[in-house]
Amino acid sequence: MIGDILYITDDILFFCMALCGIYLFIFALSALFRRSDKYQKAEEDHRFVIFTPPGAVIDNQEYPENLYTIIIYEDLFQTLKQLQEAHFDIAVILGETTHISTHLLQNLNNAYDSGVMAMQLHHIIAPRPTGKLHRAAIYEEIRNSLFRLGPAQAGLPSMFDKYDIAVDFQWLKRNMKRAESNLESMLLRQYIYIEYLNDSIVYSKAPRQQPRRMALGKVFSKFPSTLLAGNWGYGAKLFRQILPSWQTLLVIITVWCLFITCYEWRFCLKWWILLFWLIITICMAIPDYLVEKNTRKSKLSKYL
């Protein structure tokens, strides 16, 4: 009896873990085909407002100085409320920043002129003098590959964070009703595509705080109606809320793999294949600049 329950549990758990692994593999593979963000040069130069916290550093931009304004904020919501809709076209919201790519505003302008209303920028942790920061940078880039670059390459919206984003200013004014507004959910529920600009880089010394997950009850209540409405972008976000993190996934698969190997080795082969599949997927998601010279990506499993 106990054996039957165990085998049923094994099959159900393997199905769920394999489904998660396939989902991550698809986007890790898609992210390998990294593209430059080359929208056609804009016919018009739009007006930017750049929101930065105190102490952030904004490098000179290859963009007309009279067309962008830098505003230092303590409370973003209150600062935004004081601005008029007609004064700006695009809002850029940054977190703690050491510098940004000099062509960032030009890239954003080109994408916006092509009809993109919301953009996620590429956040990189630099410098990385310690092993802890190097691991944090790897985790950040894995997240970028699996949930930003990969989906964008596959035609789905990028994950959209609280910082390092650009969005249509008029839309932001009308939709950000409180400081805790979930801009990503609002954009996706309105069928607004979120682009990921891999070449528009923001540097900082520390990882960004990850957003809170939605309650599972709320996710499951919204999921069927979202799919029936054909809102695949919002559906992808909801499915992402169900997924365990890749670290949690790795721990679950490893523990069960060892357990089932000791309990009944004849059933362990599929788990070992899945474990190596996941490790390969994670290594695929790590960009080359974080791989030390003369070190293969496969050896980076020590960071997982």
pLDDT tens for each residue of 90-126: 999 999 999 998 899 999 999 999 999 999 999 999 8
CATH topology of domain 48-204: Spore Coat Polysaccharide Biosynthesis Protein SpsA; Chain A (3.90.550)
pLDDT tens for each residue of 28-38: 999 988 666 67
- Using alpha carbons, select from 153, 240, 154, 162 the residue that is nearest to residue 198: 153
Banded model confidence at residue 237, pLDDT cuts 50, 70, 90: very high
Which residue spans of the chain are classified as CATH 3.90.550.10? 48-204
pLDDT tens for each residue of 138-167: 999 999 999 999 999 999 999 999 899 999
Task: Look at 60 and 36; give whichever has higher pLDDT.
Answer: 60
- 266-274's contacts with Cβ under 8 Å and 24+ in sequence apart are 267/7, 267/10, 270/14, 271/14, 274/14, 274/17, 274/18, 274/21
The pTM (predicted TM-score) of the whole model is 0.88
Q: What token pair was written down for 105? A: 């505003």
pLDDT tens for each residue of 268-288: 889 999 999 999 999 999 998
